[in-house]
A and B are shown apart, each in its own frame.
Chain A
């Protein structure tokens, strides 16, 4: 055994944590090496001194009271939360299963009461007029609410006073090209003349 390894095992040997086989090997080395015997003695003195350091320190009454106060608060907090957790324990199914069941029960209840499947659109038989011609429901004949009123022929007065708001800008007409942002540098706008082949566009600086 080399001295370096012997020194590595000394702390564990003093602590009684060295295996029997290693202890025998260490003892064999120590019997023949005076330097390692001295080193072991130093290690023992130091570890003995360490073990002699006080293990405990005085605990102030303030610390004890503060700790107990915090524990009482924690206990009160747990007590408050306890009823909710007890109730939750009676729910063996996960929340989504419960929600699914609730929806099912609701749907069955609606079907039983109305005789209609709630999700299917209600289809009524078309009314038949005196001539025997089926008439479309009035809801289909009505224009949608968005187009109920015809758009005004003239813009509102406020907008008419500010014609600069309606400047015709090529970029606005070409907004769809902005979705291909990477290609925009090589794309000409509709209103701009195309750059001659092989020429760089003029820089703005």
Chain B
């Protein structure tokens, strides 16, 4: 990733008087203080804009990928990613160190992606996850990491499974897709997925069960 112009983002640079900083800093749980992401967020709350750049560089690749899979369009995913990080900055004082930064970040990302999916004009856009033609193989696509694959045949098979899996995930209803991506791809605990989706852990389990059943049905021949 090429570095962005950072001339105007000197460190530390007070943003203004931060009314939320004192309350957030006072209520830092013992475990959260050691979390480097929480530390970055607290620095951002204290007015250090360079902390924002660190957060962006660390988390934007995950947010872009998550948004791509959720909204299905690379261009829209980039726009949503921008909006996500601008909201992180604007609402930085609302973040409380009691929850992990990634959970808070993916809550914002999920809300914006689901809003984007609901927009009617989205239906006119090209679906990124539709099966591609042969020329699309040259593109940078998802590669399934499969250390167990020894032969070229097995490697090709796992790549094919990955591609089919991406396509099948793209066909899931948005909430099932979000729950599956957050829990399996981004590795969030069910509790954090529930927080990001604004539902209960029981609802997350139900979403994941339905998503898994759909995928198994679609991909039976590859599994």
Chain A bound to chain B: yes
In contact, B17 and A86 (Cβ under 8 angstroms): yes
Q: In angstroms, how far is the closest chain B Cβ from the Cβ of A163?
A: 62
In contact, A46 and B82 (Cβ under 8 angstroms): no
In contact, A71 and B52 (Cβ under 8 angstroms): yes
Cβ of B120 within 8 Å of any chain A Cβ, yes or no, is no
Q: In angstroms, how far is the closest chain A Cβ from the Cβ of B161?
A: 6
Cβ of A156 within 8 Å of any chain B Cβ, yes or no, is no
Of A52-60, A93-101, A165-173, the segment with at least 4 beta carbons within 8 Å of chain B is: A52-60
**Bound-state Cα–Cα, A50 to B184, Å:** 6
Known: A71-B86, A75-B49. A55 touches B144 (CB 8 A): no
**Bound-state Cα–Cα, A11 to B2, Å:** 39
Cβ of A51 within 8 Å of any chain B Cβ, yes or no, is yes
Known: A47-B184, A54-B143, A71-B89. A63 touches B64 (CB 8 A): yes
In contact, A46 and B15 (Cβ under 8 angstroms): no
**Bound-state Cα–Cα, A12 to B189, Å:** 11
B85, closest chain A residue (CB): A67
Cβ of A72 within 8 Å of any chain B Cβ, yes or no, is yes
Among B56, B68, B78, B165, contact of A60 (Cβ-Cβ < 8 Å): B78
Q: In angstroms, how far is the closest chain B Cβ from the Cβ of A65?
A: 5
Cβ of B216 within 8 Å of any chain A Cβ, yes or no, is yes
B140, closest chain A residue (CB): A58
Report B-chain residues with C-beta under 8 Å of the C-beta of A68.
4-6, 9, 53, 56
How many chain B residues touch the partner (CB < 8 A)? 59
**Bound-state Cα–Cα, A11 to B180, Å:** 10
Q: Which of A38-88 contact B (CB under 8 A)?
A: 42-43, 45-47, 49-61, 63-68, 70-72, 74-75, 78-79, 82, 85-86
**Contact mask B46-63 → A, CB, 8 Å, 1/0?**
000100110011001110
A71, closest chain B residue (CB): B89
Cβ of B142 within 8 Å of any chain A Cβ, yes or no, is yes
Report B-chain residues with C-beta under 8 Å of the C-beta of A8.
209
Cβ of A15 within 8 Å of any chain B Cβ, yes or no, is yes
**Bound-state Cα–Cα, A176 to B10, Å:** 76
Cβ of B30 within 8 Å of any chain A Cβ, yes or no, is no
Report A-chain residues with C-beta under 8 Å of the C-beta of B60.
59, 63-64, 67
Report A-chain residues with C-beta under 8 Å of the C-beta of B6.
68
Among B65, B158, B216, B219, contact of A54 (Cβ-Cβ < 8 Å): B65
In contact, B216 and A43 (Cβ under 8 angstroms): yes
Known: A17-B190, A61-B2. A49 touches B165 (CB 8 A): yes
**Contact mask B1-45 → A, CB, 8 Å, 1/0?**
111111011000001110000000000000000000000000000
In contact, B89 and A51 (Cβ under 8 angstroms): no
Known: A51-B185, A61-B3, A71-B85. A12 touches B208 (CB 8 A): yes
Q: In angstroms, how far is the closest chain A Cβ from the Cβ of B30?
A: 25
**Bound-state Cα–Cα, A47 to B220, Å:** 13
B74, closest chain A residue (CB): A57
Q: In angstroms, how far is the closest chain A Cβ from the Cβ of B7?
A: 10
**Bound-state Cα–Cα, A58 to B63, Å:** 10
In contact, A79 and B184 (Cβ under 8 angstroms): no
B146, closest chain A residue (CB): A52
In contact, A67 and B162 (Cβ under 8 angstroms): no
Known: A47-B184, A64-B1, A68-B4. A57 touches B15 (CB 8 A): no
Report A-chain residues with C-beta under 8 Å of the C-beta of B89.
71, 74-75
In contact, A59 and B61 (Cβ under 8 angstroms): yes
Q: Which of B156-172 contact A (CB under 8 A)?
A: 158, 161-162, 165-166, 169
A64, closest chain B residue (CB): B4
**Bound-state Cα–Cα, A11 to B212, Å:** 7
Closest CB pairs A-B (n = 4) = A61-B2, A56-B61, A57-B65, A64-B4
Show 12 A/B contacts (Cβ-Cβ < 8 Å), sorted by A. A10-B212, A15-B184, A46-B165, A50-B165, A54-B142, A55-B187, A57-B68, A58-B61, A59-B64, A63-B82, A64-B1, A70-B82
Other contacts beyond A55-B61, A59-B61: 6, CB < 8 A: A11-B209, A46-B219, A59-B60, A63-B78, A64-B56, A75-B89
